[in-house]
Amino acid sequence: MEDVKREIEELKQKIRYHDYRYYVLNAPVISDYEYDQMMRRLKSLEEKYPQFITPDSPTQRVGGKPLEKFKKVKHKIPMFSLEDAFSPEEVREFDRRVKRFLNLPSEKDISYSVEPKFDGLSISLIYENGILKQASTRGDGVTGEDVTQNVRTIKNVPLKLITEKAPAYLDIQGEAIMFKQDFAKINKEREEAGLPLFANPRNAAAGSIRQLDPRETAKRNLRMFTYSIREVSSEIQFKTQSEALELLKKWGLPVNELNKLCASVEEAIEYKETFTQKRHELPYEIDGMVFKVNEIDYQNRLGHTTKSPRWAIAYKFPPEQVTTTVKEVKVNVGRTGILTPVAILEPVNIGGVVVSKATLHTWDEIRKKDIRIGDRVFVERAGDVIPEIIKPISEKRTGKERIIPEPKECPVCHAHAIRDGLYFRCPNISCPAQIKESIKHFASKRAMNIEGLGDKLVEQLVEKNIIKDIADIYNLDIKTVANLERMGEKSAQNLIEAIENTKNISLAKFLFALGIRHVGEHTAHLLAKYFGSLKNIEKAKKEEFLSIKGIGEEVAQSIYDFFREQKNIQTIKKLLKAGIKPSEEKVVISPLSGKSFLFTGTLRTMTRSEAKDRVEALGGIVKNSVSKDLDYVVVGENPGSKRDKAERLGLNCIDEETFIKLLSK
């Protein structure tokens, strides 16, 4: 027993170190394979000896049940915000103020720690004896929300500090952010799944931290940068902010590598200016640089006002922001019927791009910002993100501005708009706007890939009533198409040919093309792989969808509902009748075909996921829990309690060697 306990401890320590190498230093020293081996060994030991599982184990990042709501946390020390500066002059004024306050001669140079100002969500992290105990949002600075479960899923946040002598108590501040790349990926998936998009990485990070289900947060791939020691027990002493950053680093916390100690305000300004361009090349968004008086002694003497510390200032980059007028607000109808308010603007140039539209996201947001038609507004464009209205300039109001009403009906088909959580929705699945969008999606490259069926053509076809749903695409003939605007005999012929060529499509692509809400490419693949045929999916119960790893409640419900809708069933029938053959995934005839497997313990010659892939490639199914109907239980080294259960049920237990023979039969 002691041996097991020691091995578990060693594994945890090793994995922690390699997480640190990988996620904090970006410098792994082992291969993914070696890492996976360790993780699997730890998991299997913990499965067998659950009494040794501790909350700081690397296996316990994503755990716990979805919450009903977040607990409120009163911060022991308030979480301040920062004063802003927008010009070198304002920063020099700040520097003079600091010296006056400290009674220092004006010619004395003060050193500053200059750090990127991350555009994310501020988090306080409390470690007790090195163990992460609580993470909370800033909230209003006095009271925040307990988001511990979610912050634990952020991979570069250590659950346990890497140090022999961890402080008894430690409260630090950091910023949870989403990298630009992850932001783009998540928005693409949302678009494909017919969900509203996040306006910028900051909103996406905030939305992810505020998920009640930690498994959802885990999928969002957030990162943390820590930058402040808010409080630490007295055995730890440091004299400067740069020493504090060194301590954070030493404990294995993620600290940004662009932080720099500058000997004077002029040096600090110079360093900041180098980021005006460079910031666009960083993998995450920053909106300025924070200048912090480096000496802690000075910081203490300076103290803070009610809102912000007197020892720091955020020197912001010039915002890519302009003012313009909201001419009107249109309502956009998405593929799944979501209604989005779009502001039509007096065209204006922002950083070289002419902007004439901005999304307003939701009517709640409009009300919160109090934007009205006719308002003069601030508009911002961050990177390649959709332009956004920041706020109205209420001082410029004339009284003629009009409130933006919530939609009563769909602007296109006039169906009564229904409220659906944060959004309004057009409930009419025959709505021409939804039809246009769903046809565009159906024809798109990653779906059916119908070359030549572009957006403009789809619009014409729907407006002229030539096609009323996706299935009508297959009734098009050369003559009809050739008569359309900007079309001719040759292009019509090419289009019909392209349509013809889509008839043998893979099941996954077909499912994706149907445009089921929440079903992006990845989910479509999971469904195709699990069910193998459209028929099986049509008759599946919601629970079956839920049993697929990677499919959650909302997604399962959406798929289930889709196949209960008569209109959808009819469209699918029409498609099949037109000759589309979603190819059922190849089911190889092998002795494993249709047989179910369960693995317990560590395999010597392959990883679990390799084993799973190989079974599935031969038409077998891999299950995660023991049940009577299992065909094989493959027992590796150090099997868990599942083996005992399997033996009790009298199941067919085989060893790795037999399993490998089975694979090659």
Catalytic residues: 117
- What's the Cα-to-Cα distance from 115 to each of 172, 265, 562, 612, rounded to whole Å? 16, 13, 50, 46
65 or 278, CB closer to ligand IVH?
278
Please identify which residue in 15, 204, 248, 314 interacts with ligand IVH, judged by CB under 6 A: 314
Where does this chain touch ligand IVH (CB under 6 A) — which range of 64-72, 309-317, 445-453, 575-583?
Answer: 309-317
| Residue 227 makes contact with ligand IVH by CB under 6 A | yes
8 or 135, CB closer to ligand IVH?
135
| Residue 118 makes contact with ligand IVH by CB under 6 A | yes
Contacts of 564 (CB under 8 A, 6+ apart): none
Where does this chain touch ligand IVH (CB under 6 A) — which range of 111-119, 274-282, 408-416, 478-486?
Answer: 111-119
Where does this chain touch ligand IVH (CB under 6 A) — which range of 112-120, 415-423, 432-440, 453-461?
Answer: 112-120
91 or 646, CB closer to ligand IVH?
91
Residue with the shortest CB distance to ligand IVH? 122
Q: Tell the smallest beta-carbon distance from residue 123 to ligand IVH (Å).
A: 8
Six-digit token string for 255: 């600290």
Q: What are the phi and psi torsion angles at 602 (to 5°)?
A: -90, 135
What whole-number distance in Å separates Cα of residue 172 and Cα of residue 230?
A: 5
| Residue 122 makes contact with ligand IVH by CB under 6 A | yes
Six-digit token string for 405: 């009403």
Please identify which residue in 8, 15, 24, 82 interacts with ligand IVH, judged by CB under 6 A: 82
138 or 643, CB closer to ligand IVH?
138
Which residue type does 51 have? Q
| Residue 112 makes contact with ligand IVH by CB under 6 A | no
| Residue 94 makes contact with ligand IVH by CB under 6 A | no
Helix (H, G, I), strand (E, B) or coil at 356: strand
Where does this chain touch ligand IVH (CB under 6 A) — which range of 29-37, 76-84, 240-248, 655-663?
Answer: 76-84
Please identify which residue in 48, 117, 155, 316 interacts with ligand IVH, judged by CB under 6 A: 117
| Residue 517 makes contact with ligand IVH by CB under 6 A | no
173 or 547, CB closer to ligand IVH?
173
Q: Tell the smallest beta-carbon distance from residue 301 to ligand IVH (Å).
A: 15
Total residues in contact with ligand IVH, by rule CB under 6 A: 16
What whole-number distance in Å separates Cα of residue 180 and Cα of residue 184?
A: 6
Contacts of 159 (CB under 8 A, 6+ apart): 16, 55, 56, 57, 58, 60, 61, 131, 132, 152
Q: Tell the smallest beta-carbon distance from residue 82 to ligand IVH (Å).
A: 4
b or e along 74-91 (b: 16 or more beta carbons within 10 Å of the residue's beta carbon)?
Answer: ebeebbbebeebeebeeb
Please identify which residue in 48, 138, 381, 525 interacts with ligand IVH, judged by CB under 6 A: 138
What whole-number distance in Å separates Cα of residue 52 and Cα of residue 5?
A: 7
**Binding residues for ligand IVH restricted to 410-429, rule: CB under 6 A:** none
Q: Tell the smallest beta-carbon distance from residue 78 to ligand IVH (Å).
A: 9
**Binding residues for ligand IVH restricted to 322-351, rule: CB under 6 A:** none
117 or 152, CB closer to ligand IVH?
117
77 or 263, CB closer to ligand IVH?
77
Q: Tell the smallest beta-carbon distance from residue 283 to ligand IVH (Å).
A: 16
Where does this chain touch ligand IVH (CB under 6 A) — which range of 65-73, 308-316, 343-351, 598-606?
Answer: 308-316
Q: Tell the smallest beta-carbon distance from residue 175 to ligand IVH (Å).
A: 5
Helix (H, G, I), strand (E, B) or coil at 460: helix
| Residue 80 makes contact with ligand IVH by CB under 6 A | yes
Name the strand (E) or helix (H) holding 449: none
What whole-number distance in Å separates Cα of residue 3 and Cα of residue 20?
A: 26
23 or 80, CB closer to ligand IVH?
80
Where does this chain touch ligand IVH (CB under 6 A) — which range of 307-315, 378-386, 496-504, 572-580?
Answer: 307-315
CB atoms within 10 A of CB 619: 18
| Residue 115 makes contact with ligand IVH by CB under 6 A | yes
Evaluate whether 38 touches 10 at the Cβ level (below 8 Å).
Answer: no
Helix (H, G, I), strand (E, B) or coil at 124: strand
Please identify which residue in 24, 157, 193, 290 interacts with ligand IVH, judged by CB under 6 A: 290
What whole-number distance in Å separates Cα of residue 217 and Cα of residue 194?
A: 20
Please identify which residue in 46, 175, 182, 380 interacts with ligand IVH, judged by CB under 6 A: 175
124 or 568, CB closer to ligand IVH?
124
What is the widest separation between alpha-carbon atoms in the chain? 88
Place of tokens 């594994």: 11
Sign of CA dihedral 504, 507, 509, 513: positive
Q: Tell the smallest beta-carbon distance from residue 236 to ligand IVH (Å).
A: 19
b or e along 474-483 (b: 16 or more beta carbons within 10 Å of the residue's beta carbon)?
Answer: bebebebbbe
Please identify which residue in 228, 340, 558, 568 interacts with ligand IVH, judged by CB under 6 A: 228
309 or 520, CB closer to ligand IVH?
309
Q: Tell the smallest beta-carbon distance from residue 119 to ligand IVH (Å).
A: 7
Q: What are the phi and psi torsion angles at 153 (to 5°)?
A: -80, -10
Instruction: Report the chain's C-alpha Rg in angstroms.
Output: 29
| Residue 356 makes contact with ligand IVH by CB under 6 A | no
Q: Tell the smallest beta-carbon distance from residue 60 to ligand IVH (Å).
A: 27
Q: How does DSSP classify residue 65?
A: P
What is the distance between the terminal CA atoms of the chain, rounded to a whole angstrom? 40
What is the CA 273 to chain-centroid distance, rounded? 31
DSSP sequence for 79-104: ----EEE-SHHHHHHHHHHHHHHHT-
Q: Give me the torsion for CA of 188, 191, 196, 199, rounded to 10°.
A: 30
Where does this chain touch ligand IVH (CB under 6 A) — which range of 58-66, 77-85, 406-414, 602-610?
Answer: 77-85
Question: Which burial class, exposed, middle or buried, applies to 276 when counting CB atoms under 10 A from its CB (0-12, 13-18, 19+)?
Answer: exposed
3-state helix, strand, coil in the chain (%, to 5): 40, 20, 40
| Residue 145 makes contact with ligand IVH by CB under 6 A | no
Q: Which residues are near ligand IVH by CB under 6 A? A: 80-82, 115, 117-118, 122, 138, 173, 175, 227-228, 290, 309, 312, 314
